[in-house]
Structure 1
Amino acid sequence: MTSQTNYSEPQYAKSQDKAKAPFYHPNIERRLVPETQELLEKYSHVPRDQQSEHIHKIRDQAWDIRAYPCIGLGSWLTPQLCRLPVYDDILKRVKDGATLMDVGTFVGHDLRRLVYDGAPSENMFGIDIVNLFDVGYNLFRDREHFRGHFIEADILSTTSPELAPLRGHVDIVVVSQVLHQWDWEGQLKAVQALTTFTKPGSWIVGNQIGNPEAQAVSLMSRSTALWRHNPDSFAKMFEVVGDSTGTRWETQAWLRTFEEMGWDANDGAWMEPNVRVIEFVAKRVS
């Protein structure tokens, strides 16, 4: 793995005082939803009466590396990929040998859910800009039997040797809670980068923070506004990306409330009004 020096991630992620961060909740036990309890008990062999202590320890290991809102809130403990309307199709494709790349894999939680649901891990790749992979092994206690591949790399890099073998060979790209960190132009650039890993028939799936009104928003004193998609603007983004890359895409997207995602309504209180989550699947036609 190659250490990165110029990250395409937001500056705030690199250092946050727990006591001052609006998105660090000291107690995230409520995030232990039944699906996560089952995964930790049956896949990771963490007894239920030890799970609260376990996930708090893991959360703080991750926070000390990167101070992302999803880490501080514990929202990563709520299953996301398996909530997508196309999850059963994703699972079947991976069981049948499809290659899956999880961008912004964090601790590899979606990958472990796929394995628990019966998918082989050999064709799974977890990509992240910073190495949280040991934290993931600590969480899931599967270092000896998980056969997926983790790569520390920036997907915006065009010269990363670790990513080169995957270009043009990935069947399913998962990108959850990543694209919303950029403005419109930044998201276009990121999606263009993602398309280099695809081929006709590939899918790009995931979720990100969205809004019923497609708009630019400014949060946490950032100099660059973030872009919030609704289904129409998300489809437009893939039209623009298709024109610039010579590819063609069909998109579906769904706006969800935080409650529908299994999160608390006040998790988005520090963001703009009417904030939602947009789930999506983009299928490459040509």
Structure 2
Amino acid sequence: MAATASTRSSTETADAGERERLRKTLWFAPNETLALSTYAKDLFKNYSGIAEEDIFAHIIQVREKAWNVHPYPCIGSFRFLDFAILESPAYQTVVEKLRSGGKYLDMGCCFAQDLRALAYAGVPSENLYGADLRPTFIQLSYDLFNDKHKLRSTFFHGNVFDLSSFRKVSGDQSDPSLFGELVGKVDIISARSFLHVFGAEDEFRAACQMAQILSSSNGSMIIGRQVGSTKPGLNSISLRKSEPVFRHNVETWKAFWTRVGEETNTQWDVYSRMIDIAPEVKLSVRQAESRDIEDRAWLEFVVTRI
């Protein structure tokens, strides 16, 4: 969701006027449109311990705080309540690896909702890690899920292009070795809505950095979902005005990881598929971006080291 990169400078952070403009688009869905899945209701009730009658107001309050940090589409349209990892073709494999002691890192985690889904599924939370550029989002994630008292996961904030910059969000923030101890030992990286916010070359650089963080063992994985296109190519987006992003399809995504492999001396098995974006999501993006986006689709992927 939120990018972990220095390229998102303070000048790119939306000011109050921009937040209000976007609030008037469908990116900022009216409060009354909030509709929780049965799974989300169960998680907030049984994991977060929030009374069912209070869940709605609780989510609205946290969303408002997060919107003032940065008006990401996933915040305005309640997509931070989608637990997409449950739909990943690698979900069962991920749970088994983590229950057996594997390590999971959610890059650009924002609210880290998939991390909470894994904890709710019985994965030891000390095996789960998150990282984001903005530590405020991580603090808000504790507020959203009401779990700071029990979650034993470790969260970092830092710049994906400088791994020595990562610091713990709470506790000892002075020791860069704390994140360094993870590098090369992570079994699963979640890159959900992460790489697609970068310009084309920065996307490549970030992927190479993730290859460095990931364990060199066969079977270690990078999983996620991001915006793709049935007509791949460069696109300008309002969240990144300085340079265009590249929207991939299945073929260009495979070629992308071939290039990453050549750069990092690694090999990858690349599975990906295109999934239709819900009409209401397309409508909100079209209104915010003021362009035709009929070619847009979700690109879901599982990239496995071999």
TM-score (norm 1): 0.91
Distance 2:242 2:8 in 1: 14
Match 2:250 to one of 221, 231, 235: 231
Distance 2:79 2:276 in 1: 14
CA contact (8 A) 1:18 1:24 kept: no
Distance 1:12 1:275 in 2: 24
Aligned twin of 2:234: 216
Aligned twin of 2:109: 105
Aligned twin of 2:189: 173
Supply the AA of the counterpart residue of 1:234.
Answer: W
| Offset, 1:144 | 1.1
Match 1:149 to one of 129, 150, 154: 154
Residue 56 (structure 2) pairs with residue 52 (structure 1): yes
Which string of whole-angstrom CA distances, capped at 9 and with x for unpartnered residues, describes residues 145-184 of structure 1?
A: 1000000112121432253111111000001111111232
Distance 1:257 1:89 in 2: 24
Supply the AA of the counterpart residue of 2:274.
Answer: L
Distance 2:35 2:227 in 1: 19
Supply the AA of the counterpart residue of 2:226.
Answer: Q
Aligned twin of 1:121: 125
| Offset, 1:273 | 2.9
| Offset, 1:29 | 4.3
Distance 2:237 2:110 in 1: 22
| Offset, 1:38 | 1.2
Supply the AA of the counterpart residue of 2:299.
Answer: I
State the Cα RMSD in Å: 2.0
Residue 270 (structure 2) pairs with residue 254 (structure 1): no
Aligned twin of 2:298: 277
Distance 2:284 2:158 in 1: 29
Match 1:204 to one of 215, 222, 236: 222
Distance 1:223 1:133 in 2: 26
TM-score (norm 2): 0.85
Q: Secondary structure at the match of 1:163?
A: helix
Q: Secondary structure at the match of 1:153?
A: strand
Distance 1:112 1:144 in 2: 14
Where structure 1 has 5 or more consecutive residues not aligned to the other structure, the ranges are 1-5
- Identity between Structure 1 and Structure 2 (%): 25
Distance 2:39 2:283 in 1: 22
| Offset, 1:237 | 0.7
Distance 2:125 2:244 in 1: 37
Greater strand percent: which structure? 2
Match 1:242 to one of 234, 237, 261: 261
Aligned twin of 2:100: 96
Which string of whole-angstrom CA distances, capped at 9 and with x for unpartnered residues, describes residues 191-235 of structure 1?
A: 001001111221001111111121111122723111101111111
Aligned twin of 1:183: 199
Which string of whole-angstrom CA distances, capped at 9 and with x for unpartnered residues, describes residues 111-151 of structure 1?
A: 11001111110111100011122211111111111000000
Deviates more, 1:174-183 or 1:212-221: 212-221
Greater helix percent: which structure? 2
Distance 1:204 1:235 in 2: 13
Supply the AA of the counterpart residue of 1:211.
Answer: S
- How many residues end up aligned between the 2 structures? 279
CA contact (8 A) 2:6 2:161 kept: no
Supply the AA of the counterpart residue of 2:21.
Answer: K
Distance 2:236 2:282 in 1: 20
